[in-house]
Amino acid sequence: MLNGKKIVVVMPAYNAARTLRQTYDDVIAQGIVDRVIVVDDASNDATTSIARTLPGVRLHTHPVNRGYGANQKTCYRLALEEGADIVIMVHPDYQYTPRLIPAMASLVAGGLYPVVLGSRILGGRALAGGMPLWKYVGNRLLTLTQNILFGAKLSEYHTGYRAFSRDVLALLPLEANSDDFDFDSEVLAEILWFGHLIGEVTCPTTYFPEASSIGLGGSVRYGIGCLRTAVTYRLARAGLVSSRLFPAKMRRTFQEHT
């Protein structure tokens, strides 16, 4: 715990057998995590078998592959069932260092930010950490466009390292979101829609063969989905469209009580 807050780390896993144990060990070494949840999205390797050997892990395995977004939905549902006050998502491929968990949890537990992102862009070390140039350029252009449409100033929207307060997760209409990679951008758009602040910390990352990565074709589809979400957000803010991702009634109710 931290400041009396129960901290749960969730790992949306898919074919993570080679790095899962290393990630888990580093998560536990931080000394503040109360529970680790691993959701295996029907991996083709030994991810589930390895997860069963990790002390104190709550394991859930999807019988069929449902997608990255669906995996996160299960992660967050289980974390809330565990009574988590702070939920931190860490990919089990060890691309993001778990050593930032105390810093990210502190920002949430201290009431400074209800949501904190581990940014690969802050600090200027993304390319040095092995991020492919084409992916870096795409990240920067897509983030610039999203900031304009969202009216925000985040350094990136595409990190898989995120910390949330329980109140935020319980509020968001997560089941309305995509079951695919679009889920990540939809979640941040919904957080901004409800008027929450988003904090960022610089996060060194390492790219290596075992780290999961979307190929060029998947990245293009993901980018199109991000732009679609941002445009829908802007139109919903202007009252020109309705969207299940951005429910106007829920937004008004939330603002009336804050």
| pLDDT over threshold 90, residue 9 | yes
- Determine which of 1-15, 128-142, 212-226 has the lowest per-residue pLDDT on average: 212-226
Evaluate whether residue 21 is within a structural domain: yes
In a domain, 254, yes or no: no
Q: Is residue 88 part of a domain?
A: yes
Query: Is residue 237 in some structural domain?
Result: no
Give the chain's domain count.
1
Return the minimum-mean-pLDDT range out of 38-42, 103-107, 119-123, 179-183: 119-123
Is the pLDDT score of 127 beyond 80? yes
Question: 122: domain CATH number?
Answer: 3.90.550.10
Mean of the per-residue pLDDT values of the chain: 92
Is 257 contained in some domain? Answer: no
% the chain with pLDDT above 90: 81
Statement: residue 255 has pLDDT above 70: no
Torsion of CA 184, 79, 32, 19, to 10 degrees: -60
Residue 197 forms part of a structural domain: yes
Q: What is the pTM of this model?
A: 0.92
β-sheet with 7-13: strand ranges across: 57-61, 35-40, 7-13, 86-89, 162-165, 115-119, 198-202
pLDDT for the residue 218: 80
**Domain range for residue 156?**
7-230
Q: Is residue 241 part of a domain?
A: no
Render pLDDT for 190-207 as a digit per residue (tens, 0 to 9): 999 999 999 999 998 777
Residue 256 covered by a domain? no
